[in-house]
Amino acid sequence: AQRVTQPEKLLSVFKGAPVELKCNYSYSGSPELFWYVQYSRQRLQLLLRHISRESIKGFTADLNKGETSFHLKKPFAQEEDSAMYYCALKYGWNSGGYQKVTFGTGTKLQVIP
């Protein structure tokens, strides 16, 4: 079954320290992976898509198919990065709207000043 695992419920780092939020997935097909961020119980916002290989707000994530991971990284944490981060796996068909998304349980990032 498709599954996304975020092993850490809470990650506390000091401002300026590197951040790595872990995400592992299980899916037999070709995965599409995303990171979403939620600030203070506001709406979830798309942060990254693995297919675009972009860097948003200094965050990057690389899909490692061998390790089935999609860890989110940032070299220097900032206080405004404090939020909930959700990893998500999209799977299914592209046509007909049959795609489904499974979210991980989320990791709360707390950046300590």
Partner 1 sequence: DSGVTQTPKHLITATGQRVTLRCSPRSGDLSVYWYQQSLDQGLQFLIQYYNGEERAKGNILERFSAQQFPDLHSELNLSSLELGDSALYFCASSNRVNYGYTFGSGTRLTVV
Footprint of partner 1 (CB under 8 A): 32, 34, 36, 41-46, 49, 51, 86, 88, 90, 94-103, 105-106
- Output the smallest distance, CB 105 to partner 1, in A: 5
**Shorter beta-carbon distance to partner 1: residue 96 or 113:** 96
Which residue's CB is nearer to partner 1, number 41 or number 113? Answer: 41
104 by Cβ neighbours in 10 Å (0-12 / 13-18 / 19+) ranks as buried
Task: Using alpha carbons, select from 85, 89, 105, 107 the residue that is nearest to residue 33.
Answer: 89
Is residue 30 within 8 A of residue 92, CB to CB? The reply is no
Shortest separation between residue 43's beta carbon and partner 1, angstroms: 4
